[in-house]
Amino acid sequence: MALDCRFIAGHTTGMTPPLSSTKLMPVQNPNLRHTVALQMERYKERLAANMKRERLRHGQKPADIAYKIGIDKRTYERWEEAATAPQPENLKALADEWATTVDSLRPDLQAEADQLDRIERMLVALLARAERKTAEEIEAEYSPAAGQGTLLEDVTGG
């Protein structure tokens, strides 16, 4: 899935980060934004799978559970499609309805915690480099032509 990370940045902040500025801040790095966006998508997908598993285990249809917790059927369907994620109060209502805990519905976050630790280490390194390098130098370092891989590969270990 190829995303234009400048679009993600523009969508979340209302401004497209300038790639040709004199200093490239880590939050403006398209590869980093892409990595974080992918992590968020994976979380929503695993949450959706857990919700669907519980709903099916209880023999319910999406409309049934939506009615019981007081939301629109389409809203619940969007949660199971991983298009959106439920707010904490809705997740609590689902857990109560299925006589389970919120933690059992949420995906195991250890993988995300490990990933965020790697991202944090990369941010520290990028901040240090940003103090000494221009945006063009940093972009060149993480271009495929440089043969060094990408920032995404550095962060994900891929």
> Is the whole-model pTM more than 0.85?
no
- Structural domain contains residue 10: no
Phi and psi (nearest 5°) for 98?
A: -95, 5
Query: Minimal CA–CA distance to 119: which of 156, 80, 76, 82?
Result: 156
Q: Name the more confident of 37 and 10.
A: 37
Mean pLDDT calculated for residue range 49-61: 95
Query: Does the pLDDT value for residue 29 go beyond 80?
Result: no
Q: Name the more confident of 157 and 105.
A: 105
Longest alpha-carbon distance in the chain: 60
Q: What pLDDT, on a 0 to 100 scale, did the predictor assign at position 146?
A: 53
- Contact call for residues 50 and 106 (beta carbons, < 8 A): yes
Q: What pLDDT, on a 0 to 100 scale, did the predictor assign at position 11?
A: 43
- CATH, residue 74: 1.10.260.40
Is 100 in the same domain as 141?
A: no
Q: Quick: pLDDT tens for 119-154.
A: 888 888 887 777 776 666 666 666 655 555 555 555
Mean pLDDT calculated for residue range 49-70: 95
Residue 133: alpha-carbon gap to chain centroid: 28
Distance, in Å, from the CA atom of 153 to the CA atom of 148, rounded to the nearest integer, reads 9
Parent domain of 122: 108-158
**Count of domains forming the chain:** 2
Mean pLDDT calculated for residue range 66-90: 94
| Band (21; pLDDT cuts 50, 70, 90) | very low
- Structural domain contains residue 116: yes
| Helix, strand or coil, per DSSP, at residue 2 | coil
